[in-house]
Structure 1
Amino acid sequence: MEIRQLRTFMCIVKLGSFSQAAQFLGYTQSSVTTHIQLLEKELNTVLFERFGHQLMLTTDGERLYEYADSITRLAEDAKNDLDHSASPRGPIIIGMPESLCVYHLSELLQEYISLYPEVELKLKFGISSDFRLLLRKNMMDIAFFLEKTISDHDLVASFLWSEPIVLAASPRNELSRLERIDARHLKGQTLIFVEAGSIYRSMLEKKLAKASVRPRSILEIGQIQTIKQFAVNNLGITVLPLIAVKEEIAAGTLVALPWEGTELQTSAFMVYHKEKWLSHNISSFIRLVRERLLK
């Protein structure tokens, strides 16, 4: 029985599927399956069973989970207690929106890697709702949120900076000629969004719903660079952090539409769970963020 097999087993339980666990851990699905098969063979039992599309723990699986949780925690405690090396080492899992990584945090990440080359930095792109779940399941160490405010009682959040949001379109778009626009002007327009759940998409969708406005269509695209190119080609209007379209606006390939009404703005936060054990590598990262970015 290996620690990595137990961690794979716990990851499947927390995420609810072999495929999601494989994606999160960076394994092939066949490797995840092999880990479970080896555990089942060694323990002479079955750990999972399926009811339709739902993956369920067997009674023995439930019992093993309790042991696995204790074993992996003890292993981590032993490592933290006995590792007296001066330099941080080991893995650290950090979640962040793509826009923050590309336009705000890349230099800081590079500095951290240079300072602590023995740390294995693992970045996960996504949205705040996903990060909350992973932080609470102790499957992510630190996350960066884009939100107006954070009031979760079980999370420790440090405000970093205010992040203005803009509606961006091609200068060929008809709305670029208006002095002021509001939600009503977006009726019949094509909107280009990142995945559902992002704060800036949600902000605009709420304003459209309040004004009873329906766009002609919505394009959902996962990559910010592709979203910007679609907008440059006048295939629709997008909403993104200003920093993500600053160069295109300066070059004249995109324009920031003059939004009227409540300001589109959010904030960046560094977040971790209040019960998280802050190992040497995690505390070193938090300290660097506070030294470089804390306002």
Structure 2
Amino acid sequence: MEIRQLKTFINIVKLGNFSQAAQFLGYTQSTVTTHIQLLEKELNTLLFERFGQQITLTEDGQRLYDYAERIVKLEEDAKNVLNRSSIPRGPLIIGMPESLCVYRMPALLKEYTSLYPDVELNLKFGTASDFRALLRKNVMDIAILLEQSVSDSELDSTFLWPEPIVLIASPEHALAKSDSVEPMDLSNQIFVLSEASSNYRLAFEKILEKANVRAKTILEVGQIQAIKQLVLQNLGLSVLPLVAVHKELVTGELVALPWRGPEMQINAYLVKHKGKWVNYPMRAFIKLVGERLIR
């Protein structure tokens, strides 16, 4: 029985299936399956009952889960006791939106990995709702959220900076020469937007809904670079964080429309679970963010 097998087992239980655990741990699904098969063979029992795509713990699986959590926690405690150095080392799992990782954080991440080479930094992309769930399940240490505000009794949050959102278009778009753009001007337009759970998309759609404005078509695209390329080709309008399109606005490849509707701004917050023990890697990251990024 290996610690990594137990960690795989714990993550399957917390995340609900083999594929999500594999994706989160950075394993292939076959590796995750092998870990469980080896555990089941060694313990001579079944740990999961499988009903199609759904899995549930067997009675023995539930017993093992209680022990597995204690064993993994003891391993972490032993490392902390035996390594009394305050030099950060070990795993650190951080969740953040793609736009922040690509356009805000590279310099800080480079500095952090240079200062603390013994930290195993693991970055996860996703949405705020994904990160909240992972923080509650204690499979993520820290997350950076883009939200208008954070009000969650289970989470500690620190305001980092305001993140302006802009309405962008190709210079060839019919609205590109407008002196002002209001919600009603967007009626029957085509939009190229990020995933439906994106907070800045949600804020924008609320503005349109309140003004009773209907889009002609919404193209949902998961990657910011792909969104920008589609807008560059004049396939539609989009709303993105200003930092993600700053270069294209400067070069004139894209234009920021003169928005006169309700303000589209969200904020960046550093978030952790209130019950999470702040270890040395977390403490060093939070400190560096405070020194470099908090405004």
TM-score range, shorter chain: over 0.9
The range that moved more, 188-197 or 28-37, is: 188-197
For the residue of structure 2 that corresponds to 1:173, the secondary structure is: coil
The alignment of Structure 1 onto Structure 2 pairs a total of residues equal to: 295
1:189-235, Cα deviation, whole Å (9 max, x unpaired): 11111112111111111112222322111111121111111111101
Counterpart of 2:35 in structure 1 is 35
Conservation of the 8 A alpha-carbon contact between 1:80 and 1:279: no
Greater Cα offset, 205-214 or 240-249: 205-214
TM-score (norm 2): 0.97
The equivalent of 1:136 in structure 2 is: 136
CA distance in 2, matches of 1:194, 1:77: 41
CA contact (8 A) 2:91 2:119 kept: yes
Q: Which residue of the partner structure matches residue 50 of structure 1?
A: 50
* Distance (Å, rounded) in 2 between the aligned partners of 1:57 and 1:275: 26
Q: CA deviation at 1:71?
A: 1.3
For residues 15 and 193 of structure 1, the distance between their equivalents in structure 2, rounded to whole angstroms, comes to: 28
CA distance in structure 1 between the partners assigned to 2:125 and 2:29 by the alignment: 20
- In structure 2, the residue matched to 1:61 is 61
Hey, what does 2:3 align to over in structure 1? 3
CA contact (8 A) 2:164 2:264 kept: yes
Task: State the distance in 2 between where 1:275 and 1:100 align.
Answer: 26
Q: Distance in 1 between matches of 2:70 and 2:182?
A: 55
* Partner Cα distance (2:170, 2:192) in 1: 12
Aligned counterparts of 2:65 and 2:210: Cα–Cα separation in 1: 46
Distance 1:183 1:39 in 2: 58
Matches within 5 A, 1:125-164: 125-164=125-164
CA–CA distance in structure 1, aligned partners of residues 77 and 194 of structure 2: 39
TM-score (structure 1 length as normaliser): 0.97
Q: After superposition, what is the alpha-carbon deviation per residue over 1:70-117, rounded to whole angstroms, capped at 9, x for unaligned? A: 111121122122212352111111100111111111100000011011
Q: Which runs of 5+ in 1 are unaligned?
A: none
Identity in percent: 62
Letter aligned with residue 4 of structure 2: R
Per the alignment, residue 273 of structure 2 pairs with 273
Matched with 1:245 is 245
Aligned-pair CA distance for 1:45: 0.7
| 1:216-270 deviations in Å (ceiling 9; x for gaps) | 1111112111111111110111100111111111111111111122100011111
Residues 112 and 285 of structure 1 are in contact (CA less than 8 Å); yes or no, is this contact kept in structure 2?
Answer: yes
Q: Give the Cα–Cα distance (whole angstroms) in 2 for the partners of residues 99 and 152 of structure 1.
A: 23
Question: Is 2:48–2:61's contact at 8 Å kept on the other side of the alignment?
Answer: yes
Task: Tell me how far apart the structure 2 counterparts of residues 201 and 9 of structure 1 sit (CA, whole Å).
Answer: 36
Alignment of 1:115-126 (within 5 A): 115-126=115-126
Q: CA RMSD in A?
A: 1.2
Match of 1:64, SS state, is: helix
Name the SS for the 2:104 alignment partner: helix
